[in-house]
Amino acid sequence: MSAPLASLKLRLRRVERARQLRHAVLILPLLLFLGFTFLVPIGTMLWHAVDDPDVARVLPRTVAALHGWNGQALPGEATFAALAADLDDAAREQTTSTAAKRLNYDVAGFRSLLMNTARHLEAEPPAAGDAQATLLAIDPRWGDLESWGAIHRASGPLTDFYLLAALDLHRTADGHIAATPAEQAVYVDVLLRTLEIGFIVTALCLLLGFPTAYLLASLPARQANLFMIFVLLPFWTSLLVRICAWIVLLQGNGLVNGLLLWSGLVDAPLRLIFNRTGVYIAMTHVLLPFMILPLYSSMKAISPAYMRAAASLGAPPWRAFVQIYLPQTLPGIGAGSLLVFILCIGYYITPALVGGGGDQMISYFIAFFTNETVNWGMAAALGTVLLTVTTLLAMAYARLVADRQTTGGLK
């Protein structure tokens, strides 16, 4: 009896493995697509945030000579000679600008320092044992610890320079982490501004979207479907067209100011565009459907029997809503808020078109370093910071949902 039973279990396991294999084959194209379009770009971005090969490739002798340098005093004659030899080779191979560009990210003016030194050394190489004096005569900045510290920090192959810079931090010549001077610190303020705009736009979308979703969930199906068309209508229009429409509506002589002046609410046109107000209005309009749809889905699944039961037990409408209905909408509130917030903090075109100089978000600077200065490392570092914030929020939401499921929803 046991032998046939064991044979049956073996056949069942084989059938189950075959079924799992068929399922794996079916989803393999999707996994490959996600890998090439999602995981590979993110992995590439993370790699660029720490990759730093340029200086070591152009100045290999200098990097080797600086290995173990403590940053407390100027390096010795051998290091100056190594730099002179590297610059001579780089001038012949025309690769000096590659290292100069990377070092200029760290210390302003380093590009001119390196290029000017390379030209002088090409015209008049230093004598043996005289490299330090020659370099100091060409430019006194070779006597600054910070100049050598920049080369040491860029020795590669990996670096934390870009990630620290994205948090307004930097390493000193002796390797310690220090805060960037206040007049140069930008990115923490930009990140906080991005989060502030994201939270306010999310709150506005929730404030406008909750009653709209409640109305849609309460109406008969035919009327709800009609009103849902108006909710989805923005998806049928180009984002750029919607933003340009808001520019027309919110300008000084636009329709909104015209109505305010006609109604007597204001005596002069309000400044509603190219400032934070315009950003809030335009982004709330763009992202509102992403709040309404999760809320509507959550509210539609709530049975009206709960509210009727609460009313039959003597609960007033407001109490039944707060204690019975509202807790059941929390998954929709959480999903909609997370979706709107994540989309908001990554927006570029909306604040770029309707915001002012002090309203640009972190995505603007990522685009700037990608397209204007071609500083891939800094763009990747800022993208990594944004990815980290998004991941932490997603984890917090997943934890909140898990806790709610564990505690069992309604009390």
Instruction: Give pLDDT tens digits for 179-215.
Output: 988 888 899 999 999 999 999 999 999 999 999 999 9
Question: Which bin fits 289, alpha (ψ -120 to 50), beta or left (φ > 0)?
Answer: alpha
Of 243, 213, 188, the residue nearest 362 (C-alpha): 188
- 365-394: average pLDDT: 89
**R_g of the chain computed on alpha carbons:** 31
Question: Which bin fits 129, alpha (ψ -120 to 50), beta or left (φ > 0)?
Answer: left
CB atoms within 10 A of CB 248: 12
- Band (pLDDT 50/70/90 cuts) for residue 22 is confident
Fold for 188-407, please state it: MetI-like fold (1.10.3720)
Query: CA dihedral in degrees (112, 115, 120, 122; nearest 10)?
Result: 180
- The predicted-structure confidence for 129-164, as pLDDT tens digits, reads as follows 888 999 999 999 999 999 999 999 999 889 999 999
What is the spatial distance between Cα 227 and Cα 208, in angstroms, rounded to a whole number?
15
What is the spatial distance between Cα 118 and Cα 88, in angstroms, rounded to a whole number?
7
Per-residue model confidence (pLDDT) at position 408:
52
CB atoms within 10 A of CB 236: 7
- 243-262: average pLDDT: 87
Q: Which of 259-268, 311-320, 322-331 shows the lowest per-residue confidence on average (mean pLDDT)? A: 311-320
**Both tokens assigned to 365:** 């600077």
Work out the mean pLDDT of the chain and round it to a whole number.
87
Of 368, 364, 367, 399, the residue nearest 197 (C-alpha): 364
CA distances from 31 to 36, 37, 42, 70, 152 (A): 9, 10, 15, 48, 42
- What is the enclosing helix (H) or strand (E) of 171? strand 169-171
Q: Are 311 and 320 in contact (CB under 8 A)?
A: yes
What is the spatial distance between Cα 185 and Cα 144, in angstroms, rounded to a whole number?
23
Residues 6+ apart with CB under 8 A from 95: 57, 58
- Band (pLDDT 50/70/90 cuts) for residue 60 is very high
Q: Where are the alpha helices (DSSP H) in 154-300?
A: 161-166, 187-218, 221-232, 239-250, 255-263, 276-300
Of 395, 277, 380, the residue nearest 342 (C-alpha): 395
DSSP-derived secondary structure letter, 234? G
Domain ranges of the chain: 1-38, 54-155, 188-407
What is the spatial distance between Cα 48 and Cα 38, in angstroms, rounded to a whole number?
16
What is the spatial distance between Cα 120 and Cα 298, in angstroms, rounded to a whole number?
72
Per-residue model confidence (pLDDT) at position 36:
83
Three-class SS state of 254: coil
Predicted confidence (pLDDT) at residue 110 exceeds the cutoff of 50: yes
- 206-233: average pLDDT: 88
What is the spatial distance between Cα 59 and Cα 249, in angstroms, rounded to a whole number?
57
Position with higher pLDDT, 45 vs 404? 45
Per-residue model confidence (pLDDT) at position 373:
84
